[in-house]
């Protein structure tokens, strides 16, 4: 089976369109050249629009996790406390990183359950330098309340770090309006580029709080100094080819229109949820009034009568790849992403393929109910 024949509907990396792939094959240029500086500058300006921020933005050659570590490593001394909000795998990752640099104080919720803001505030009473939260938790298909958590953090004198790795570029993210001190995105999610790059926005308050000895490679002051040179550059050798691809992916976003892109993601996620309901599949997240379903990945319980292996292998045999649950949710849920440069046809193809697999195992009696529900959602 050729990999190019597979429709990738996992929560990153996503399908990379041919135009972006072609950008990877452009001739190499010097990373201190004016041409690279232009590519970097244009990319940063587009990212500012996606982040909805006037804060400075920097791109790191490293995945989203490297940007998470850059955020915490630049702000935490060993005696500093980070309140880390956990209701999924990537919230837990913030805790693990914070423990390397300072003191982590996790506020834990069951995976897929809504954040209780009162519990977060209780954790802040004793003080903290930063609060971390994953805006869109792809491990569970839940979107967390960034604005409300930011307000709590700043009310108690803490900085707010927000992982927007799987929401920026595919959903509404208002870094300045929400008062996000460090916001993060990854290249291989909603931006639709290959994996290997991440970007951060840094507020004035965050700059004023940077520690004396941050991580060497991810020293944000070094990125700021290099970006301010006559020819914009990064402090260390970047992946030039990945910058080509990111730049082209961001050009595609500008051509589509940022608001149009957000609406495409919203409609696709709504169609996926409508299809699940029509097929009798239970959505995994348990929500209250502080959280919403993700607009970039839908997490669902595996129906009785089929195993995780048979479900995902049945999809893959039909050239559609989806994701299972992570860690203790392995074998219990499956996840279908709607992020990046997917099309309406990609979503409908995925739903039809899911119906075929469920019909094969007698989970549903007929094929078409999920497709009908999704098409009805798209046509609204």
Secondary structure (DSSP) of 185-213:
EETTTTT-PPSSEEEEEE-HHHHHT--SS
pLDDT for residue 1 is more than 70: no
pLDDT recorded at residue 2 = 56
pLDDT for residue 11 is more than 70: yes
pLDDT for residue 3 is more than 90: no
For the segment 264-321, what is each residue's pLDDT rounded down to a tens digit? 999 999 999 999 999 999 999 989 887 899 999 999 999 999 999 999 999 999 999 9
Which ranges in the chain are annotated with CATH 3.40.640.10? 18-254
**Which of 229, 235, 182 is CA-nearest to residue 70?**
182
CA 361, chain centre distance (Å): 33
The CATH number of domain 18-254 is 3.40.640.10: yes
**Which of 105, 208, 94, 104 is CA-nearest to residue 161?**
94
Share of the chain above pLDDT 90, in %: 97
Which ranges in the chain are annotated with CATH 3.90.1150.10? 3-13+257-378
Average pLDDT, stretch 176-204? 98
For the segment 118-146, what is each residue's pLDDT rounded down to a tens digit? 999 999 999 999 999 999 999 999 999 99
For the segment 25-41, what is each residue's pLDDT rounded down to a tens digit? 999 999 999 999 999 99
Class of domain 3-13+257-378: alpha beta
Residue 230: other Cβ atoms inside 10 A: 7
For the segment 37-59, what is each residue's pLDDT rounded down to a tens digit? 999 999 999 999 999 999 999 99
**Residue 83 belongs to what H/E stretch?**
strand 81-86
**Which of 69, 175, 85 is CA-nearest to residue 124?**
85
Q: The pTM is what? A: 0.97
pLDDT recorded at residue 380 = 80
Residue 34, sorted as left (phi over 0), alpha (psi -120 to 50) or beta, turns out to be: alpha
Share of the chain above pLDDT 70, in %: 99
Residues 189/340, Cβ–Cβ less than 8 Å? yes
**Which of 168, 82, 195 is CA-nearest to residue 133?**
82
For residues 291 and 150, the model is more confident at 150
DSSP for 272-307 reads HHHHHHHTTPPB--B--TT-EE-SSEEEEEPPTTS-
Average pLDDT, stretch 67-85? 98
Interaxial angle between packed helices 369-378 and 258-278, expressed in degrees from 0 to 180 and rounded to the nearest 10: 150
Alpha-helical (H) ranges within the chain are 18-23, 34-51, 64-75, 89-101, 117-124, 146-155, 204-208, 220-227, 240-256, 258-278, 308-317, 344-360, 369-378
């Amino acid at each position: 089976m050729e990999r190019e024949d597979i429709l990738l509907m996992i929560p990153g990396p996503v399908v990379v369109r041919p135009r972006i792939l072609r950008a990877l094959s452009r001739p190499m240029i010097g990373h201190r050249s004016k041409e690279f500086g232009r590519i970097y500058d244009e990319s940063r300006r587009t990212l500012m629009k996606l982040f909805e921020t006037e804060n400075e933005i920097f791109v790191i050659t490293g995945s989203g996790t490297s940007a998470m570590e850059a955020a915490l490593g630049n702000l935490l001394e060993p005696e500093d406390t980070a309140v880390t909000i956990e209701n999924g795998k990537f919230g837990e990752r913030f805790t693990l990183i914070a423990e390397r640099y300072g003191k982590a104080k996790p506020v834990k919720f069951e995976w897929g359950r809504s954040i209780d803001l009162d519990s977060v505030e209780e954790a802040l009473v004793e003080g903290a330098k930063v609060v971390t939260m994953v805006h869109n938790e792809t491990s569970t298909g839940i979107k967390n309340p960034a604005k409300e958590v930011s307000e709590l953090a700043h009310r108690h004198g803490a900085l707010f770090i927000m992982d927007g790795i799987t929401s920026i570029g595919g959903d509404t993210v208002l870094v300045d309006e929400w008062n996000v001190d460090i916001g993060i995105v990854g290249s291989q999610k909603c931006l639709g580029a290959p994996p290997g790059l991440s970007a951060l926005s840094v507020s004035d308050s965050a700059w004023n709080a940077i520690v004396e000895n941050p991580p060497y490679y991810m020293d944000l002051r070094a990125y700021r100094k290099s970006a301010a040179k006559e020819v914009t550059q990064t402090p260390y050798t970047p992946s030039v080819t990945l910058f080509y691809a990111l730049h082209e992916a961001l050009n595609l976003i500008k051509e589509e229109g940022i608001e149009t892109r957000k609406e495409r993601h919203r409609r696709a996620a709504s169609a996926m949820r409508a299809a699940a309901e029509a097929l009798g599949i239970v959505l995994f997240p348990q929500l209250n009034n502080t959280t919403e379903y993700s607009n970039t990945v839908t997490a669902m319980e595996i129906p009785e009568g089929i195993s995780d292996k048979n479900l995902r292998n049945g999809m893959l045999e039909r050239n559609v790849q989806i994701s299972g649950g992570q860690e203790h949710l392995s074998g219990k849920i499956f996840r279908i992403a709607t992020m990046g440069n997917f099309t309406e046809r990609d979503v409908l193809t995925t739903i039809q393929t899911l119906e075929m697999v469920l019909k094969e195992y007698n989970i549903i009696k007929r094929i078409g109910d999920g497709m009908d529900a999704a098409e009805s959602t798209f046509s609204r």
